[in-house]
Chains A and B, each alone.
Chain A
Amino acid sequence: MKTKLLFPNQLKLIGWILLVPSTILGILMMFFNFKLMFLDTRVFGIISSEFPNPTSFFCFSKNNITDEIIGILFIIGAILVAFSKENHEDEYIAKIRLESLVWATYVSYFILILCILFVYGTGFFTVMVFNMFTILIFFIIRFHYILYKSNKSLSHEK
Chain B
Amino acid sequence: MKNNLKVERAIKNITQEELAKLIGVTRQAINSIELNKYVPSTILALKLSRYFNKTVNEIFTLEESDN
Contact = CB atoms under 8 A, between A and B. Distances in A.
A93 B32 CA distance: 11
Interface stretch (A38-46, A75-83, A149-157): A149-157
Given A90-B24, A92-B26, A93-B26, A150 B16 contact: no
Interface string B27-67: 11101101100101101100000000000000000000000
A154 B44 contact: no
A154 B32 CA distance: 9
B8 to A, nearest CB: 14
Contacts of A154: 16, 27-28, 31
B25 interface: yes
B16 A157 contact: yes
B40 A150 contact: no
Interface residues of B, number: 17
Interface string B1-25: 0000000000000011000000011
B50 to A, nearest CB: 16
Interface of B: 15-16, 24-29, 31-32, 34-35, 38, 40-41, 43-44
A90 B16 CA distance: 15
Interface residues of A, number: 13
Given A150-B32, A153-B35, A157-B16, 9 more contacts: A88-B25, A90-B25, A91-B44, A92-B25, A92-B26, A95-B38, A154-B27, A157-B34, A158-B15
A158 B24 CA distance: 18
A88 B44 CA distance: 15
B29 A91 contact: yes
Contacts of B43: 91
A153 B28 CA distance: 9
A93 to B, nearest CB: 6
A158 B38 CA distance: 18
Given A91-B40, A91-B41, A91-B44, A157 B31 contact: yes
